[in-house]
């Protein structure tokens, strides 16, 4: 894919004359915005599978995977996510702000939901981990949790620090900065969403 038009657009957006906020709009934020607009325009892309049936998401939400704990002082590198809700309705500058703020919160260890999830997972016996994580993942990501309706329901699991549809409609992974040109992402059994690696 030729990214030159997108890079030229980002250069214009980030020009001091146009961007008075000081927030740099990255290719990652740009990609999320483009995906959000595409899913809003073509709602059949913004769906999930549950019990062999297709159910639409109510909003267009995109998650961005964030590498944390990769500094020299950390012994536990990890991968977490920042979800931007209703991304199709937000400006790219706003998306960049939310993404940057969420990443800083995760890396500083102040994200309460992530910390709760990590603590809970570490407390689960290893032989049960696979089953509990898969079931909790299915409840929150495929079935959802929170509001109730026939055959489709939405579920948050406070004890695990898990919210309904934690990954939203789509997941964006940034591998370009790592020098990776192409990657295959293994499918998660309970997540039936689009996953873009850029």
Both tokens assigned to 121: 């997972």
Check pLDDT > 80 for residue 175.
Answer: no
* pTM of the predicted protein model: 0.75
**Rounded mean pLDDT, 74-85:** 79
Q: How far is CA 75 from CA 68, 69, 72, 78, 180, in A?
A: 11, 7, 8, 10, 23
Q: How far is CA 64 from CA 20, 60, 166, 176, 196, in A?
A: 25, 13, 11, 14, 10
**Rounded mean pLDDT, 153-160:** 57
Residue pointed to by tokens 């898969």: 134
C-alpha dihedral (21, 27, 30, 36), degrees to nearest 10: -140
CATH number of 4-109+167-197: 3.30.559.10
**List of E strands, 39-181:** 47-50, 53-56, 62-68, 78-84, 148-149, 152-153, 170-173
Q: Where are the domains of the chain?
A: 4-109+167-197
The per-residue pLDDT for range 126-149, each reduced to its tens digit, is 888 788 777 777 776 666 554 433
Check pLDDT > 70 for residue 166.
Answer: yes
**Rounded mean pLDDT, 102-130:** 83
* Distance between CA atoms of residues 66 and 106, nearest Å: 8
Check pLDDT > 70 for residue 17.
Answer: no
Q: Which of 120, 150, 149, 112 is nearest to 137 (CA)?
A: 120
The per-residue pLDDT for range 33-64, each reduced to its tens digit, is 999 999 999 999 898 877 777 888 889 999 99
């Amino acid at each position: 894919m030729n990214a030159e038009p997108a890079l030229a657009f980002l250069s214009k957006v980030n020009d001091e004359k146009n961007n008075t906020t000081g927030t740099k709009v990255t290719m990652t934020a740009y990609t999320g915005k483009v995906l959000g607009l595409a899913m809003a325009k073509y709602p059949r892309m913004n769906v999930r599978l549950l019990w062999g049936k297709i159910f639409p998401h109510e909003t267009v939400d995109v998650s961005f995977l964030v590498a944390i704990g990769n500094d020299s002082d950390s012994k536990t590198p990890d991968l977490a996510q920042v979800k931007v809700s209703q991304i199709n309705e937000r400006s790219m500058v706003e998306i960049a702000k939310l993404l940057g703020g969420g990443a800083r919160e995760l890396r500083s260890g102040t994200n309460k939901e992530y910390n709760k999830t990590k603590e809970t997972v570490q407390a689960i016996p290893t032989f049960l981990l696979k089953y509990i994580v898969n079931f909790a993942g299915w409840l929150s990501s495929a079935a959802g949790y929170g509001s109730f309706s026939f055959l489709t329901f939405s579920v948050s699991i406070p004890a695990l620090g898990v919210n309904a549809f934690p990954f939203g409609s789509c997941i964006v992974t940034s591998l370009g900065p790592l020098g990776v040109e192409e990657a295959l992402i293994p499918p998660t059994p309970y997540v039936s969403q689009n996953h873009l690696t850029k």
